[in-house]
Structure 1
Amino acid sequence: MENARFLIYQVGIYYETIKRTGQDGYYSESHAVTTSDGYILDLQRIPFRRFENEENAPKTPKPVVFLMHGLQSNSVSYIFLGPDLALAYLLAEAGYDVWMGNARGGLNSRRHVQLNPDVERNAFFDYSFEDIGTKDVPEMIDYILKVTGQPQLHYIGHSQGGTVFLVMNSIRTEYNQKIKSAHLLAGVGYMEHFPNRLLRALAISTNLIYSFAVTHGIVEVLGPAETNEPSPEIADTTEKGLLDTLLDAITSLFGESEMLAPASIKQYAHFGQNIRAKTFKRWDYGPIGNMRTYGSLRAPSYDISKITINTTMHYTVSDDLLDERDVIKMSSVMPNARNRKIARESFTHTDFVVAPDAKELLYDYIIEELNNSSK
């Protein structure tokens, strides 16, 4: 049974999301998708143009676009800029059936058929970005295609939304056939040249920080309860100091915004393992665990050369979480990928979803490309 505080949190988040879309003049729907491992995901849909609804909208089928948010974010990131500027609304105006995913543990997806995230915390938050890429995203895509009756959709992913695209299509390669085209907005994958110095330094102690956090029940980052930081009763140790530094770094990266949503500490640990190893690989269980799980002493790398989708990797030279050299390397490995640099030198990692000039520098281009590929 979900406790009262959890219910209040969920209803509040849901109400604010629906209210925001309605205030902006758009009809929206909320769909629940239950994954194979029991997580209940919220999937938002904007099927019509502004001020249209089921009664006055044209009945002809529309091409489908699926948008996936980044780490510590949610579907609000694609409506944040409001009418005339936000990507989801621009796509709806261009005649697309727009769907926005919410990963497990995040906005209105902090639910499970059995696990209560406020009680069985360690079990509920035992997931990394690979679980989102191999379960959440493909199962949301299957749901969307079933509801719309379309054989394919277009994919847009920001930051971790790009990461999970790379994971999904390198492991579950059948999804290459279900995606017509993709646009990755600072999609994080290869990390040989990871640019953030503080996170790069903390990544050296990834396993130590993660083990300490899980031991003390600190498994959720920026959740609704006072569960984001170590308890005052925990003695000051090197491990606690490292975890405090990581949490402070996360707070400084994301600040306070309606786009924020909870995430698992294991998502950060998985990125940390890759930053430390300067690679893009699956969760590292250690030699014994890797042999048991993968049949090899080392965690295997994601083979993105298996991704055959027509993919554009948008990037900026002022990104503190993704280096230009890693983007260029990824696009050279994927057979049908190309890279595109944003034409503003100061454009940042979060500007992909919050900068007013993202429409001019990015969104107009994406919509033009989608229109061309949908013909």
Structure 2
Amino acid sequence: MMRKEAYETVPQLITAAGYPAERHRATTPDGYVLQMHRIPAGRRTSRRSGPSGKGKKVVLLVHGLIGSSADFVIMGPDRSLGYILADAGYDVWIGNLRGNYYTSHQNLTRSDPKFWEYSFHEHGKYDVPAQIDKVLSVTGNSKLLYVGYSMGSTSFFIMMSERPEYNEKVVAFIGLAPAVYLNQIKPLAENTLKDLNIVNTLRSQGMLSLAFRPELIDFVVSTMCRVKQPEGEMCMRLAFPFVGEDYEQIDWDIMMPVIVVRIQPASWRQLEHFGKIAITGVFTSWEDGLFGAVKPYNLSNVKVPVTLLYGENDQLTEKSQIMRLAKELRKTGMLEEIRPGCNWPKFNHLDFVYAKDLGNLLNRPLVKHVDKMFNKYG
């Protein structure tokens, strides 16, 4: 039996948890329509006065690869960042980047190859700016605080490189497992993209994007992922070499049935663009493809304080690579802080949104840091 949370929309999840929920739409200059989800008040305040974000400080949360706004609410009120921020008095907005199921296009359908011609370059250049403008126009605030997880962080740094005027609209940035330098996955990228040419092979077979049919996911979850002991369970065993092993932080009831079912589509170019960054060792734009010109994004355009949090056991956005990013930001005086997300030594890439003890390990202390950033720079 699949849990109902696996299939509920994000507004349904938020409402079921006892919070007010709103849907908003932001449209990009190139025609993508992005649904945003808002939690304007916490559980207790909403009963007293009706939902109102008026006059509150605004936080924007942006998800990672194959993710969505669900990443920030799926673990429930005591654990997920969206709820903990709302209860702490913030007006919480959760973005969606083109390609996931909360996004569409004014003229293109998902079965049109043109729909999928983007990487996270477009997320940074178009999607995030459009969503920031939407949030500020609805709330009347002049600035917000941005929290990006993994690719949501990549998008922030691209936005600042390409659209530096957006520094004026951001109080501070917090990167959770930021994906900017990826040298340690170079062998994997070279093997899959160069030697095996997997992506182009799948493209040539008519697969427009990295997307799994719901019935296939259901089958995988019910056969491979439902086992609750590490020896027999395949899903995590396949994922751990890439993200870091952490059996202790798996909530088996939520992790498998709910999270695997909620995996979102990605464009092939997103994977190839990450591959290009890994292979070249440079935080480079996509330009003319995997083997095309290397053009570094300009990190010195970042003019807001940046906090970087890493997982001690994250194998994907590994500590040494986040330290390299920190060094770049220290040069320009924009590094506020760099530290482990928490003191759990096995904390991995997925734990930033799915850890069993997420509330205590990461998010409650994180909200205190958000308070500090607003007090210092807001």
TM-score, normalised to structure 1, is 0.81
Alignment partner for residue 288 of structure 2, among 285, 289, 295? 285
| 1:112 Cα deviation after fit | 0.9
- C-alpha contact 1:173 1:306 (8 A) present in aligned 2: yes
Gaps of 5+ in 1: 1-11, 229-247, 291-297
Paired residue type of 1:138: P
Gaps of 5+ in 2: 218-236, 244-255
Q: How many residues align?
A: 332
**Structure 2 residue 202 is the aligned partner of structure 1 residue 209:** no
| 1:277 Cα deviation after fit | 1.5
The corresponding residue for 1:168 is 159
**Over residues 184-228 of structure 1, what are the superposed CA-to-partner deviations in whole Å (9 max), with x where a residue is unaligned?**
110100123338x6455324448x333333333222112447899
Distance 1:310 1:56 in 2: 34
The corresponding residue for 2:90 is 96
**Aligned-partner SS, 1:257:** helix
**Aligned-partner SS, 2:184:** coil
The corresponding residue for 1:369 is 369
Cα RMSD over matched residues?
Answer: 2.9
Distance 1:273 1:33 in 2: 29
| 1:258 Cα deviation after fit | 4.5
**Aligned-partner SS, 1:32:** strand
- C-alpha contact 1:193 1:323 (8 A) present in aligned 2: yes
Distance 2:150 2:70 in 1: 15
Paired residue type of 2:165: E
- C-alpha spacing 1:331/1:253, structure 2 compared with 1 (3 Å): closer
- C-alpha spacing 1:157/1:222, structure 2 compared with 1 (3 Å): same
Alignment partner for residue 207 of structure 2, among 211, 215, 218? 218
**Structure 2 residue 121 is the aligned partner of structure 1 residue 123:** no
- C-alpha spacing 1:59/1:364, structure 2 compared with 1 (3 Å): closer
Alignment partner for residue 75 of structure 2, among 71, 81, 87? 81
The corresponding residue for 2:334 is 336
Paired residue type of 1:154: L
Alignment partner for residue 327 of structure 1, among 322, 332, 335? 322
Distance 2:67 2:53 in 1: 33
| 1:358 Cα deviation after fit | 2.6
**Aligned-partner SS, 1:217:** coil
- C-alpha contact 2:241 2:315 (8 A) present in aligned 1: no
**Over residues 153-205 of structure 1, what are the superposed CA-to-partner deviations in whole Å (9 max), with x where a residue is unaligned?**
0011111111111111111111112110111110100123338x645532444
- C-alpha spacing 1:53/1:167, structure 2 compared with 1 (3 Å): farther
Identity %: 31
Distance 1:22 1:286 in 2: 43
**Over residues 28-76 of structure 1, what are the superposed CA-to-partner deviations in whole Å (9 max), with x where a residue is unaligned?**
0111111111111110000011151694356751000000000001111
**Aligned-partner SS, 2:359:** helix
- C-alpha spacing 1:330/1:92, structure 2 compared with 1 (3 Å): same
- C-alpha contact 2:182 2:316 (8 A) present in aligned 1: no
Distance 1:359 1:227 in 2: 32
More moved, 277-286 vs 219-228 = 219-228
Distance 1:48 1:28 in 2: 9
**Structure 2 residue 22 is the aligned partner of structure 1 residue 32:** no
The corresponding residue for 2:64 is 70
TM-score, normalised to structure 2, is 0.80
- C-alpha contact 1:50 1:93 (8 A) present in aligned 2: yes
- C-alpha contact 1:67 1:99 (8 A) present in aligned 2: yes
- C-alpha contact 2:6 2:261 (8 A) present in aligned 1: no
Distance 1:96 1:263 in 2: 30
